[in-house]
Structure 1
């Protein structure tokens, strides 16, 4: 009996597809895209939403950067220090000290002129006023204009005057000088192919073209009067073979109006862009010597300032040598306004003859940063798309085979480029490639059976990878430049001192604490109150700001509020070394304190109520809709006001209670503030997130919550007998960022840092 023929063998891939339910490719792709879009939206909204973003977010930065300008003061051009170094406070500024930057694109925006950045500032001194002229890039026309600001207090505060010169082409580098009682400006006009001289009709607001000095596209040009002649130095980009930004030319004349005669050895420099050939500001004369400022370039618009001593300047000879020039710069990376680069400096001697003032631009990100972030973000999105298609093929949702017939050669007409043999050769190559792709696709299709637990695990892993890549790509595209920026008050920035109290058993906490918080933009320095044990050695703590360890004789919690004359700022942030939060949370709290410098601004609200009084947690306070204390283990305060209250005679009994319980020092300070005022004395700022490391430590006094709260309830009872009841002082404000209008007013400029003899110079200058 003949056996029946066997059915043809079914390929393994086909068998796998039969075991899986059919899936529409369109349905799969729609579901995958919808899922990833939801993941991206959820990720983008997971960050905190606050009503007052940093000032730079009101601007419109682009690929050229987010430049701003800062002021520096010193005994000489070679000893300049940033303005915050001198501890200067200004009336109505809520800034003690005033800190850089002093002019930003946000200031120009608030004056009514759209701006992406401000850069290349020049100073012009006229009587008691200091004028600053600078380039502002119009974020609508995308070209540079010349704007101005004026300071009547030696560069501490600046009033914006708006755009004072606007042409149909890009202009920048507004070099301003005087000649025969008139004020002139030679801005860069290289986009127009020439170098122009303007004179002021109504200084500083109205300017008129005087003449075209040179029919050359010069950039970063300056004119100086030296040894009886006028010298024009600039970079000419027109000649063939000129290395852009690495070329320097010189012209000379008997008048700033010309005619200008080229130097015998032009170009003086035509070399590597990193060698500072291009001008980076106004030349200056110091001790009879002429110095030229150059910008050192490297892979961008500029990253450093170089100073050259001009040894010979003649019509047939030029010689200069680089001299050491260092300006104190923050090492906080993107969190510093000039953390990435600077490429311009103008320094001049003040009329008093005792001090020099300089203005420098700076940027927190390198050139092209936004393009770089967009490129990475879209590349990650591309990888996500490929993985989505690959996953679709693996689970059998997408099955795409390229038909060979689409690649058959057309023989109806003879091509002018290929003969018949060449066309068939091309067909052979294409068909081979398509065949290999189809084979690869057949190997992939249906490899994962998602109805089994093993297949589902694979799908989940791939989906997690997709979500991570989508979120990272979203962060690069929409997440900003990664900087945690400070928040200005009335356009002014300031700094605070971070103070923490610890001892030897918590050294590991302290190391993380110092390394993290030293990078926050408004942290000037860190004071460590060392209560017990051997303090860390010099250099053991990694910090980008100065760290001072104050060793105490007695292990007492009262040491936290010891009066310290070496603290250089008005604001002190008391922060336990076991609390970790973002720099942005600190900056928001600092902003609120600057609006209310007479209050304690903290992050951990507490409520005391009941009879007898009980110490209640933040969760309970929220349930009851109010709080009447904030923990000073994470709080801003005016150290001059708070520490004096704490060490007053009326607080003596309270300090004894703190020592007896080894607890409650923050509770005592809340009572002292409440007892001294009929208005709100504490304010709560909600952090985006905070980690209390004491929960993972065996040495924290609050690790046993129940015992800790019981002791604090005892303190409440004793303090209320002495200082009154806190219950009547009940406030609640759960907003992420409190908004008020009250600030502490100062009647005059105060210098808080002792720098003899510079302190007397500053006091004289600022009167």
Structure 2
């Protein structure tokens, strides 16, 4: 070391070493220092631009682009979802529960409100449809909620009060909300939060006793069953008494045979909880356990836990139970109830399960039913429902990230097979160090011997596979193509589960209410394959109530040939005419009609947005294909001409919402006869005629059309030879002729409407 230090002092007097005056002489200290500084940078750039790194970077960019494109095409833009509070209606692992209302002649023949055909002009709900209360109802009223469930009715005179559990979006615990209806359940006013505590509340069982109104909600976390008394009904409540020191869930009280009976399930055990019964002379206690409590039913998965208020019907007492937790409700007839005896049997409950799956507000499950007898002798009921199953959010995230991980593994496998990656598992797991190993490393090696051997065998197998397929170009290309396709599929599947929501295409409320419409299409025998695909797809859209098929030519199909989730009607016409599209049909049960050609496929969400816009402007034609007609030249042109002029004054009714009462009446009025004759002559222009009739019935400055841009739309007629307007040039010439004739008959079209004039951006 002293010798080296002498070199460091060379050149100075008394340096004690060989003096280096030549420029070729190299200072080894400087050389080693330079090498130390340059080597890390050399290895860094070598790794940065290695073939393996470039391969993984290219795959990341490519798969990321594919995932982005897939999301753009498939998912509903967040800006489309309107009417929801920014802090309410968040995705929740417990579900997205809503509440619906039902009516019937008995508790066993209940029909949803839309089947009763109640119309509400103020909200353009013709008819009003379930659900009646959602998280949006409460969030829009200023009370942020993720979901609403466990509904109970309290009827006071002609006023309905609805109590329910609402999960607070901020505290993430259950509170008790309340709403009021003065029109027999058609519209609801959110009054606010009736009861909240420092622990979660649910199942707000409300009852009357000695002129006082009481509420008995679940307080599982508190491990008590509490009864509250109304000080100022329905928003002010005071704790009256703790009637039981047990974590009971879904507890209900019923007055039967001169006694009060308490039904509940102890939540401290596992599973759904066995039914327990107590009796007392007062709903405030003291409570005496039933001699056979807990009640051990034959099938523990059915009808154990309460699912709503017990009720009397034709002198018999019935109890509502829920299957497991939140799947569906069952009704049990109580055949014996005394201090020492209890017997119940399940009775049929013909609740029609929705066939639209996640697009129905209760398509996945329902768990709670409250039925009550009205003074008129009819029955009313409220029920909660969910479009997804319990734990859906966590399950989607697990599946999503597992899919992404699987795609990453396949990309590494591709790299190995291409020779760009040497191994899948790090070599330092496998290669034994030739140097001295410490005790801790040897202990790790012994404890992970299986992992080391497994990694070694996998790497050897992949190396062997790479050598084998290297000599077979076709096999190599095929294998790499299959692996990459699988990676793309896994990435798309992962993105869908992580970012795509629960997969439902829910309807959009207008002024807090939902409604339904009729889907109408006109077709003939040569387009039957289109029709089958059309019916299967659109019948699953949330707001579609029925589908009417106007059959213009050929032998009509049988209803059994169609896979429809809603009622399907086929109206066979004697004459093949485009005028049949707007014929007055008394069998149509809704005011809103979506005229949609059978060769147009778009998402249910696009359809729901169009319906929402039409409910805002029911006096307009609301559709998805805009056109601009220059009234000075009267020449028919495609959509790009409207885009060029930044506006439109016509909507094609091959995909448009109209008011069936007004539109059909105008089209078949006496003043439209000349126009109908021209349509019959050209076998064209029926949609152009309807636009002129709307403009003719309005003032010159009134807007008569509204555009909604679909996320995507496919014209399936291009895949067949059955398109009506295959020759575009001839088709456009006919329409230009129609424009001239209709302008002479009915005057000008309405004023031009600009694109992107809506605040929600739906008309970009």
- Tell me the alpha carbon deviations over residues 473-509 of structure 1, each in whole angstroms, 9 at most, x when there is no partner: 1111110111111111122110000111122222222
- Name the counterpart of 1:693: 716
Alpha-carbon distance in 2 for matches of 1:629, 1:91? 26
- Contact 1:176 1:185 (8 Å CA) reproduced: yes
Confirm whether residue 235 of structure 1 aligns to residue 265 of structure 2: yes
Alpha-carbon distance in 1 for matches of 2:446, 2:668? 94
- Name the counterpart of 2:591: 570
- Tell me the alpha carbon deviations over residues 429-482 of structure 1, each in whole angstroms, 9 at most, x when there is no partner: 6775565456446547888889x9997887666445433322221111110111
Confirm whether residue 195 of structure 1 aligns to residue 225 of structure 2: yes
- Contact 1:702 1:708 (8 Å CA) reproduced: yes
- Point out which structure has higher relative CO (alpha carbons under 8 A, 6+ apart): 1
Alpha-carbon distance in 2 for matches of 1:184, 1:657? 70
Partner of 1:616, secondary structure, is coil
Structure 2 CA distance for partners of 1:655 and 1:130, relative to 1, 3 Å: same
Alpha-carbon distance in 2 for matches of 1:274, 1:409? 62
User: Which of 285, 291, 305 is residue 312 of structure 2 equivalent to?
Assistant: 285
Alpha-carbon distance in 1 for matches of 2:342, 2:464? 73
- Name the counterpart of 1:319: 343
User: Which of 49, 63, 84 is residue 77 of structure 2 equivalent to?
Assistant: 49
Structure 2 CA distance for partners of 1:613 and 1:293, relative to 1, 3 Å: same
Larger mean Cα displacement after TM superposition, 394-403 or 520-529: 394-403
Larger mean Cα displacement after TM superposition, 184-193 or 404-413: 404-413
Structure 2 CA distance for partners of 1:437 and 1:519, relative to 1, 3 Å: closer
Structure 2 CA distance for partners of 1:409 and 1:285, relative to 1, 3 Å: farther
**Which runs of 5 or more residues in structure 2 are unaligned?**
1-46
Alpha-carbon distance in 2 for matches of 1:254, 1:686? 65
Larger mean Cα displacement after TM superposition, 434-443 or 171-180: 434-443
- Contact 1:23 1:396 (8 Å CA) reproduced: no
- Name the counterpart of 1:362: 385
- What TM-score, normalized by structure 1, do the two folds share? 0.86
- Tell me the alpha carbon deviations over residues 569-614 of structure 1, each in whole angstroms, 9 at most, x when there is no partner: 1100111112111111111110110010000011112233366522
Alpha-carbon distance in 1 for matches of 2:314, 2:450? 77
- Contact 1:246 1:271 (8 Å CA) reproduced: no
- Contact 2:631 2:748 (8 Å CA) reproduced: no
- Name the counterpart of 1:467: 488
Confirm whether residue 82 of structure 1 aligns to residue 112 of structure 2: yes
- Name the counterpart of 2:620: 599
User: Which of 233, 240, 251 is residue 210 of structure 1 equivalent to?
Assistant: 240
- Name the counterpart of 1:512: 533
Structure 2 CA distance for partners of 1:264 and 1:709, relative to 1, 3 Å: same
User: Which of 133, 139, 150 is residue 103 of structure 1 equivalent to?
Assistant: 133
- Tell me the alpha carbon deviations over residues 653-679 of structure 1, each in whole angstroms, 9 at most, x when there is no partner: 111111122221111111100111121
Alpha-carbon distance in 2 for matches of 1:191, 1:293? 24
Alpha-carbon distance in 1 for matches of 2:48, 2:405? 29
Alpha-carbon distance in 1 for matches of 2:556, 2:234? 57
Partner of 1:709, secondary structure, is helix
- Name the counterpart of 2:23: none
Alpha-carbon distance in 2 for matches of 1:210, 1:635? 58
- Name the counterpart of 1:341: 365
Alpha-carbon distance in 1 for matches of 2:76, 2:222? 46
- Name the counterpart of 1:765: none
Confirm whether residue 500 of structure 1 aligns to residue 521 of structure 2: yes
- Name the counterpart of 1:381: 404
Alpha-carbon distance in 2 for matches of 1:180, 1:637? 55
- Name the counterpart of 2:730: 707
- Contact 1:510 1:577 (8 Å CA) reproduced: yes
- Tell me the alpha carbon deviations over residues 366-424 of structure 1, each in whole angstroms, 9 at most, x when there is no partner: 111112211111111111222233333334443342254469998979x9xxxx9x999
- Name the counterpart of 2:394: 371
Alpha-carbon distance in 2 for matches of 1:435, 1:595? 67
- Name the counterpart of 1:488: 509
- Tell me the alpha carbon deviations over residues 179-224 of structure 1, each in whole angstroms, 9 at most, x when there is no partner: 1111111111122112111111121111111111111111110011
Report matched runs for 1:516-665 at 5 Å.
516-609=537-630, 613-665=634-686
* Deviation of 1:52 (Å): 3.6
- Tell me the alpha carbon deviations over residues 92-137 of structure 1, each in whole angstroms, 9 at most, x when there is no partner: 2121111100111111222222322111110111122111111111
- Name the counterpart of 2:203: 173
Alpha-carbon distance in 1 for matches of 2:706, 2:717? 24
- Contact 1:404 1:434 (8 Å CA) reproduced: no
Structure 2 CA distance for partners of 1:641 and 1:431, relative to 1, 3 Å: closer
Alpha-carbon distance in 2 for matches of 1:428, 1:80? 65
Structure 2 CA distance for partners of 1:77 and 1:54, relative to 1, 3 Å: farther
- Contact 2:584 2:664 (8 Å CA) reproduced: yes
Structure 2 CA distance for partners of 1:156 and 1:379, relative to 1, 3 Å: same
- Tell me the alpha carbon deviations over residues 504-544 of structure 1, each in whole angstroms, 9 at most, x when there is no partner: 22222222111111111000001111222222223222211
- Contact 2:159 2:180 (8 Å CA) reproduced: yes
Partner of 2:262, secondary structure, is strand
Partner of 1:264, secondary structure, is coil
Structure 2 CA distance for partners of 1:24 and 1:313, relative to 1, 3 Å: same
Alpha-carbon distance in 2 for matches of 1:120, 1:341? 13
Alpha-carbon distance in 2 for matches of 1:390, 1:48? 34
Confirm whether residue 266 of structure 1 aligns to residue 293 of structure 2: yes
- Contact 1:628 1:729 (8 Å CA) reproduced: yes
- Tell me the alpha carbon deviations over residues 273-332 of structure 1, each in whole angstroms, 9 at most, x when there is no partner: 4311110000111111111111112xxx32111111111111111111111111234210
* Deviation of 1:553 (Å): 2.5
Structure 2 CA distance for partners of 1:701 and 1:110, relative to 1, 3 Å: same
- Name the counterpart of 1:59: 89
User: Which of 753, 759, 763 is residue 731 of structure 1 equivalent to?
Assistant: 753
- Tell me the alpha carbon deviations over residues 21-61 of structure 1, each in whole angstroms, 9 at most, x when there is no partner: 98265555455445544443443344453634166795112
Structure 2 CA distance for partners of 1:219 and 1:271, relative to 1, 3 Å: farther
Structure 2 CA distance for partners of 1:406 and 1:225, relative to 1, 3 Å: farther
Alpha-carbon distance in 2 for matches of 1:473, 1:648? 55
Partner of 2:329, secondary structure, is strand
Partner of 1:132, secondary structure, is strand
Structure 2 CA distance for partners of 1:571 and 1:224, relative to 1, 3 Å: same
Larger mean Cα displacement after TM superposition, 675-684 or 331-340: 675-684
- Name the counterpart of 2:159: 129
Partner of 2:342, secondary structure, is strand
Structure 2 CA distance for partners of 1:551 and 1:310, relative to 1, 3 Å: same
Structure 2 CA distance for partners of 1:328 and 1:457, relative to 1, 3 Å: closer
Partner of 2:145, secondary structure, is coil
Number of aligned positions between the proteins: 706
Confirm whether residue 163 of structure 1 aligns to residue 193 of structure 2: yes
- Contact 1:393 1:446 (8 Å CA) reproduced: no
- Contact 2:507 2:514 (8 Å CA) reproduced: yes
- Contact 2:521 2:595 (8 Å CA) reproduced: yes
- Contact 1:685 1:734 (8 Å CA) reproduced: no
Alpha-carbon distance in 2 for matches of 1:412, 1:711? 91
